[in-house]
Structure 1
Amino acid sequence: MDLRVRAFHMLILVSGLCLLQARGGSSNSVLFLDGSEHKYIRSHPETVDEANPMSPLEVAATVSVLLGVAPPVSLPAESSLKLDKILTPNPFSRPRAVVMLEVQGIGDLSSALHSILQDDSALSGKIISSGNAHIELFGDDEVSQTSIDEPIECDSACAGREFSNLARWLGGSYVGSMESQDGELEFPLASGTSLNLHVSKEADRTFALSLVSLFNGVKTAMEMQEDFEAINQRPVDLFTGCFTGIKLFHMALARLFGSLQKTYQGEVVGVILLNEQTSASSMEPMLDVKLSPRASRWLQERPAANTTNAEVHLVRTTLAWITGIILLLSTLIGVYYLLYMPFNRDTLLYSNVKLD
C-alpha cells in the first residue's frame, strides 16, 4: 500500500494565550508550521504579514479547511482569498488529525523557533482581533474529538514514575521522592544551563504535571495512529488540550514536534496562536470547537425558467398556423376530388371495384 495513503497525517494546532500585559498594547499573532516532507501550507503567502493580518475567524476557517470541513458560510470573500493564499491548492491533500493545544502564559516564541522547526518552514502573521472564533463540526462521522489534557490522578509513587519518564524523555533526571518532600526535576536547556523544579512546591508540581499530561496525550495520539494505520477511511481525529506551564515549553514543544515528524514521516503541520491580553476574556480559548448535529439538506425544486421570448413564440405560432392551413386545404381538395371524380375504368380499378 502506498505510504501516502497509509500514513496518518497530523496537524498540530497550538493556541497560546498570553496572560502578561504587553507594554505597547496587545499583540496577537499566528504561526504556521509546515512539515519537512509533505506540504500543506504555501511557501510564502502574502496574507501572513503585518500589512494583511488575519482574524480569529480566518484562522478557524483555515483549520476547518485543513480538516476537510467546509468553512463557515459567514466567511467574507476577502477572507476566502486569504485562505487560498495560505493553503496549498490541492483539496485532496489534507491532514488526518488535529492536535489543538491551548498554551496559557506565553508571550513570544520567536526565540525558540529555530529549535522547534529545525529544517521545517514557518510562516507568521498578526491577528487583528482579540475575539474568539468557533470551529463548527457536524457529528462524529466526520470528526472524532479526543482530549489530551486529562488530569493525572495517581498517588505519590505513580507521580514519581511519571516524573522519571518525563525527565528521561527530556534528557534530564529526577531525584528524591514526593513522600520525602525532596523530589527535584532537572532539565538541561539549549542555552547550556539547567532548570530545576522542586515538586514539593505547588507551582513547580503543577507545571510538571501539566507537562506530563501533555506528553501522555501526544503519546496517545501517536499510538492511535499506529492502531488505525491500516484503515483507509475513518473520521478526522481532533485532539484538544490546555497547557498551563511555560518554562520548559520551548524545549518540550521542540521535542514533541520532532517526535511527531518522525512518527508521521514529516507530514505534520503546526499552527501557533499567540494572544497577549490580560482581560477576563483571555481565559477563553481563541479557537473553540463546536459540535453541531448535521441538518438534513434537501434540494429545493425550482420551477423551470421560461427562456422563450416573444419573438420565438411568434415564429412558432406562425409556423403552426401555416402548417394547419396547408393540411386543411389538402384535406378539402382530396375530399373534393374523391367525391367528384368521373366513373371510368381507371377510377373504378383505383377504387378496387371488381369489373366483369
Structure 2
Amino acid sequence: MVARSPLQFLLLLLVSFICLKARAESSRSVVFIDGSSNNYIRDQNPDGAETSSMLLDEVAAAASVLLGFAPPSSLAADSSSKLNEVLLANPFDKPHAVFLLEVNGIDGADPLLSMDNSKLTGSIFKSRVLGPSKAALELPGEDEVSVVHLDESVAAECNAACLDKELANIADWLGGSYVGSLESLDGMLTLPLASGKALNLHVEKEAQLQFASGLISLFKSVKRGVEVHEDFAGSIVSPAELIIGHFTGIKILQEEYGPGDIVQQAMEVFQTALTKSLDLLYNSHEGKIVGVVISKKEPTPHSGGMIDVTFPTRVSRFLEEGTQAGFPIHTLEVLLVRRSLAWITGIILLVSTLIGVFLLVNMPLTRDTLLYSNVKLD
C-alpha cells in the first residue's frame, strides 16, 4: 500500500493536468445552424452541447463538405467519423453556401452554446472546439467558389456624415433608434433587448463606436452576400458561396469595460443581429445555406482568424519544365522531341497533299467519276 501511494499521487496529478488542459482548450465553441426548409445538420440531443467536442480541422472540413467539396485527404479516420455525427450523409444534397463567422472575446459561460434554439427555425449542432489555434479551409479554386469577406473597417473609411447614415440604418434593422450625430459628439444608438431593456451606445466613445461598426459591417456583408447570390441565380453553373469574417465588437467592449452589464447586453444585441442575418440569408438562398459560428475567448496568436481560406497554386507544365534550370540536358531533349514531331507531322501532311492532288488530276472521266456529275456527261 505504501508503495502504491506515490504512483497514485502521480496519476492524480496527471489526470488533473489533463483536465485543466482540456478545460483551457474548451474556451472555444462552434454552432452549426441550417434553415427549416432544408436540413443539412443532424439533430442533436438536448445535452449534446455539454459533451460534444470537435477539432478545429474538423470544423474546417465540415465547412468544405457543406460547400460541396471533399474534405482534405489528410483528415484522420476519427475526424471523418466526427463529420458523420454533425452532417447528414447525403452526398447529393449539399447547400453549396456557408456563412462562417468568428466571434472574438466571449468570456465566462459561452452564450452561443446557451443560445435559445426557439429563436432559430432550423437544426442546430453545438460543440466545443479543441486542438490548435489555426486551421485551413482548402478550396479547389477561385473560379469555383465565390468568397465574400466581412470588412470591419467601416469607421476608418466613412466620414462622420456617412457613419451617421449607417448607424441610422443599423438602428432601423434592429428595431432601435439613432439620435444626434458624431460631429456634435451627442450620437446615441439605442438597441432593444429581449428582456425589454435597451442598450444605449454613446458612439462618440471609441469602443462603443467599434461595436456599432461591427454590426454595420455584419449587416452590409450579409447584404453583399445576398446580392452575389442573386447575380449567380440566373446562371447555368453557379459557384459555391462562402461568406466569412470576424466580429470583434464584443472583445473591444470587454477590453474597455470588463465583464460588466454592457458586455452582456451587447452579446444579446449580437444574438439578435446574428438571427436576423441568418434569416436574410435563408430567405435569399431558399434555405440552402448553413451558418457556422465559432466563438473564442483568447486572442489568436497569429494574424487573421482561426480558419484561413486557401486556394491551390496552379502552375502549368510548361512553366514547370522551364523552371528546371538545373537540368539543361533534359530541357534540350524536350525541345528536340517537340521539333522533331512538328517536322515529321508537317512532312507527312505535305506528302499526303501531293499524292491526293496527283490522284485527283489523273482520275478517269467515267460516268460515276467524282470529278463531274452525271448530268454534265449526258
Give the alignment's TM-score, normalised by structure 1. Answer: 0.70
Whether 1:25 aligns to 2:27 is: no
Q: CA deviation at 1:39?
A: 0.8
Cα distance change, pair 219–32 in 1 and its aligned pair in 2 (3 A): same
Aligned partner of residue 238 in structure 1, secondary structure: strand
Aligned partner of residue 36 in structure 1, secondary structure: coil
Q: Which has the larger radius of gyration?
A: 1
Whether 1:289 aligns to 2:309 is: yes
Whether 1:205 aligns to 2:209 is: yes
Structure 2 Cα separation of the partners of residues 26 and 208 of structure 1? 30
Whether 1:134 aligns to 2:154 is: no
Aligned to 2:345: none
Alignment equivalent of 1:263, drawn from 284, 293, 297 = 284
Q: Does structure 2 conserve the Cα–Cα contact (< 8 Å) formed by 1:210 and 1:245? A: yes
Cα distance change, pair 77–145 in 1 and its aligned pair in 2 (3 A): same
Q: CA deviation at 1:222?
A: 0.9
Cα distance change, pair 116–199 in 1 and its aligned pair in 2 (3 A): farther
Greater Cα offset, 109-118 or 152-161: 109-118
Structure 1 Cα separation of the partners of residues 305 and 137 of structure 2? 11
Q: What letter is aligned with 1:212?
A: I
Q: What letter is aligned with 2:71?
A: P
Could you list the runs of 5+ residues in structure 2 that have no partner in the other structure? 1-20, 251-265, 318-378
Q: CA deviation at 1:139?
A: 1.9
Q: CA deviation at 1:110?
A: 4.3
Structure in which a larger fraction of residues adopt helix: 2
Q: CA deviation at 1:127?
A: 2.1
Structure 2 Cα separation of the partners of residues 112 and 50 of structure 1? 10
| Coordinate RMSD, CA, aligned | 2.8
Alignment equivalent of 1:178, drawn from 156, 177, 182 = 182
Aligned partner of residue 57 in structure 2, secondary structure: helix
Aligned partner of residue 207 in structure 1, secondary structure: helix
Q: What letter is aligned with 1:286?
A: M
Aligned partner of residue 245 in structure 2, secondary structure: strand
What aligned pairs does 1:135-150 form with structure 2 within 5 A after superposition?
135-149=137-151
Deviations 1:302-351 (A, max 9, x none): xxxxxxxxxxxxxxxxxxxxxxxxxxxxxxxxxxxxxxxxxxxxxxxxxx
Q: Does structure 1 conserve the Cα–Cα contact (< 8 Å) formed by 2:148 and 2:224? A: no
Q: CA deviation at 1:296?
A: 7.8
Alignment equivalent of 1:234, drawn from 224, 235, 238 = 238
Q: Does structure 1 conserve the Cα–Cα contact (< 8 Å) formed by 2:101 and 2:292? A: no
Q: Does structure 2 conserve the Cα–Cα contact (< 8 Å) formed by 1:116 and 1:254? A: no
Aligned partner of residue 148 in structure 2, secondary structure: strand
Structure 2 Cα separation of the partners of residues 43 and 294 of structure 1? 39
Alignment equivalent of 1:221, drawn from 218, 225, 245 = 225
Q: CA deviation at 1:170?
A: 0.6
Structure 1 Cα separation of the partners of residues 101 and 112 of structure 2? 18
Structure 2 Cα separation of the partners of residues 49 and 294 of structure 1? 41
Structure 1 Cα separation of the partners of residues 97 and 315 of structure 2? 24
Aligned to 2:90: 90
Q: Does structure 1 conserve the Cα–Cα contact (< 8 Å) formed by 2:190 and 2:201? A: yes
How many pairs are equivalent? 274
Q: Percent identity over the alignment?
A: 45
Aligned to 1:276: 297
**Consecutive aligned runs of 4 or more in structure 1 exceeding 4 Å deviation:** 48-52, 294-297
Q: What letter is aligned with 2:111?
A: L
Alignment equivalent of 1:169, drawn from 160, 173, 185 = 173
Structure 2 Cα separation of the partners of residues 158 and 49 of structure 1? 42
Q: Does structure 2 conserve the Cα–Cα contact (< 8 Å) formed by 1:26 and 1:276? A: no
Structure 1 Cα separation of the partners of residues 166 and 112 of structure 2? 30
Q: CA deviation at 1:64?
A: 0.9
Structure 1 Cα separation of the partners of residues 302 and 115 of structure 2? 24
Q: Does structure 1 conserve the Cα–Cα contact (< 8 Å) formed by 2:117 and 2:124? A: no
Q: What letter is aligned with 1:202?
A: E
Q: What letter is aligned with 1:76?
A: A
Q: Does structure 1 conserve the Cα–Cα contact (< 8 Å) formed by 2:136 and 2:310? A: yes
Aligned partner of residue 292 in structure 1, secondary structure: coil
Q: CA deviation at 1:112?
A: 6.3
Q: Does structure 2 conserve the Cα–Cα contact (< 8 Å) formed by 1:261 and 1:268? A: yes
Aligned to 1:59: 59
Deviations 1:175-213 (A, max 9, x none): 001111101100111111000111111111111112111
Q: CA deviation at 1:154?
A: 2.0
Structure 1 Cα separation of the partners of residues 243 and 176 of structure 2? 27
Structure 1 Cα separation of the partners of residues 227 and 204 of structure 2? 32
Cα distance change, pair 32–99 in 1 and its aligned pair in 2 (3 A): closer
Q: Does structure 1 conserve the Cα–Cα contact (< 8 Å) formed by 2:42 and 2:123? A: no
Could you list the runs of 5+ residues in structure 1 that have no partner in the other structure? 1-21, 298-356
Deviations 1:39-83 (A, max 9, x none): 11122489x666563211111111111112221111111211221
Structure 1 Cα separation of the partners of residues 99 and 276 of structure 2? 15
